[in-house]
Every structure is written in C-alpha cells, then in structure tokens.
Amino acid sequence: MPRARAVFVTANFESNLEQLREFLVGAGAAAAFDHLVARLSSHLVPNLQAFPALGADFLARAPLSVDGAAMFEKLVKSAGTDSQVRQWIEGDYIVLYLVRGQSVYLLSIKHHRQLSFDLPGHWP
C-alpha cells in the first residue's frame, strides 16, 4: 500500500475559506460553513492522502476566454512540469489542488455560486 501523502493548506486556500465563510454567513447559511470544514477534514484530506489523483486533471482542458487562457498559462508555469493540478468537486464546492511528489497542496476552494451571486458587484 502506498505511503500516505502530506496535505498542505496554502495561504490562498485559507483566504478562500474566509471568503466562503463570509459568503455563507451573508446568505444565512453559517451552519453550511461548519459542515464544509468538517467534511474537508473528515473526507477530502484523507482521500487525497491516499488517492491524490482522485480529482479531474485541471490542465487537460484549456479555457476558451482570453483572460482565462492567461490565468491558465500562469498556473501551468507556476505548477512546473513535475506537478499535477487537479480539481475536485465536493458538494457545492470546487477545490483546486496540486500534487507534487509525495505532497498535496490545497490551492483554492470556491462555492459554485460565489461569483454569480453578486452580479451587480462584479458588473456595475
């Protein structure tokens, strides 16, 4: 059986969690945040320790927009050739993580409605 990998939380992931907490509290769903944190520690992290390739290969599909393509290229360059960037969908949340050697780095987490929830705030 393969050795369990170490899972690390990046500063960006922590920032995303704080934004998620604010988003969910603002939507009247504070309990959903507690459930998410419990689910991450009881389900996602142990699964990534044992099966880091569990999520879809994020780099297999390039975005179609110009802005998306620029961000995509930046991510590819930052990840390096010895890494995999993968995406995992956990209920209403999308988690982006990087696998490098025996380590897994949680990069980003977003609620699927987080960006479109505040349309006037994004497009005044």
DSSP string, 40-83: IIIIIHHHHHH-TT-SEEGGGS--SSHHHHHHHHHHHHHH-TTE
pLDDT interval class at 1 (50, 70, 90): low
Q: What is the torsion angle, in degrees rounded to the nearest 10, for the CA atoms of residue 81, residue 84, residue 85 and residue 88?
A: 170
- Return the pLDDT at 117: 47
Q: How far separated are the first and last CA of the chain, in Å rounded? A: 54
Burial degree of 96 (CB within 10 A; 0-12, 13-18, 19+): buried
- Return the pLDDT at 65: 78
Q: What is the arrangement of strands in the sheet containing 6-9, beginning at the earlier edge strand?
A: 6-9, 103-111, 93-100, 83-90, 56-57
- Other CB atoms within a 10 A radius of the CB of residue 107 amount to 22
Predicted confidence (pLDDT) per residue in 104-122, tens digit: 999 999 998 766 545 555 5
Is residue 90's pLDDT more than 60? yes
- Return the pLDDT at 91: 86
pTM, two decimal places: 0.81
